[in-house]
Chain A
Amino acid sequence: MDKKAKELEGIIRSNIKSIKDNKNLSSLCDGLEELRKSMDSYDSLWTNTKDWFKRLFKFGKKKDLCIAQLIDIVNDFDKYKTEDKRKTINKLTELSKIKDRTFLEKIISVLRAS
């Protein structure tokens, strides 16, 4: 992997850490936008990005804008028509619905576990 790709990876990793600390969400979106522009040139980055998306799923609430950008990024990878890509998009879509859940729906999902 060349120097530019490594730099981008570094940016994304540090931005992921910022998200975990609830800081600097906009720079994550900017970093991902940079990643998207370079993605076609650096095929190996796609494998790493899946791990980064997985890490994002574990965090609490997300800004809708960032999720929409993430979905666009995954959708742009037309040549990667894999089961993982479908699952990634489904998970991101589910994550974007968190804000829309009513309190009654939250109660029902807790009762389901009783």
Chain B
Amino acid sequence: MKKVLKQFFGQGIFYILFFGLVVLVFAFFDLGFRWDNLNIDDLDVLGYITLILFRLIIYICPAIIMYPFVRKKCSISKCYSLQFCWYSILLALYNLLSLDYILKVDLFSKLDSFVFILGFVLSLIFNKQLPVETTDKFKQDK
């Protein structure tokens, strides 16, 4: 049990810090302003590419970066499950504290899409049903 909790919180801290760092870096270069001004009439190509890159980095990369360090104890699908579980916890806290009303912004609005797609892709790769869960409790490997 202790090992499980250690893994859960250890990875969780990494995922939260990684997300925070990525947001800070993109905010430092004021890329959010470029994204707010994206429009079809006069497409800012660099802004568009950085927006795609941002979403790939925050949703796909964290578990991939973590996996080599925990591969003996954790499969890649479990890493993704933990990542999305922690993102859900962060989102729940964000909503509980009503920060969406104060900051007027929704956090992780694309989370469900990525959870579904990654679950689908991973189950295809491993050729078996692998749930990538966001709200279920962390389960031990059998």
Contact = CB atoms under 8 A, between A and B. Distances in A.
A109 B54 CA distance: 12
Interface in A92-106: 94, 98, 101, 103, 106
B103 A111 contact: yes
Interface in B84-128: 103-110
Interface of B: 23-24, 26-28, 30-33, 35-37, 42, 44, 51, 54-55, 58, 103-110
A58 interface: yes
B35 A113 contact: yes
A41 interface: no
Given A94-B37, A108-B103, A112-B35, 18 more contacts: A58-B44, A91-B37, A98-B30, A101-B30, A106-B27, A106-B32, A108-B32, A109-B27, A109-B36, A110-B23, A110-B35, A110-B54, A111-B103, A111-B107, A112-B36, A114-B23, A114-B54, A114-B58
A114 B55 contact: yes
Given A98-B33, A114-B58, A114-B110, A108 B105 contact: yes
Contacts of A114: 23, 54-55, 58, 107-110
A32 to B, nearest CB: 20
Contact of B24 (A54, A107, A108): A107
A112 B33 CA distance: 11
A109 B33 contact: yes
B42 A113 contact: no
A107 B35 contact: no
A42 interface: no
Nearest to B20: A107
Given A112-B105, A113-B51, A113-B54, A107 B27 contact: yes
B30 A106 contact: yes
Contacts of A80: none
27 contacts: A54-B42, A58-B44, A91-B37, A94-B37, A106-B30, A107-B27, A108-B104, A109-B33, A109-B35, A110-B26, A110-B27, A110-B32, A110-B54, A111-B23, A111-B32, A111-B103, A111-B107, A112-B36, A112-B105, A112-B106, A113-B35, A113-B55, A114-B54, A114-B55, A114-B107, A114-B109, A114-B110
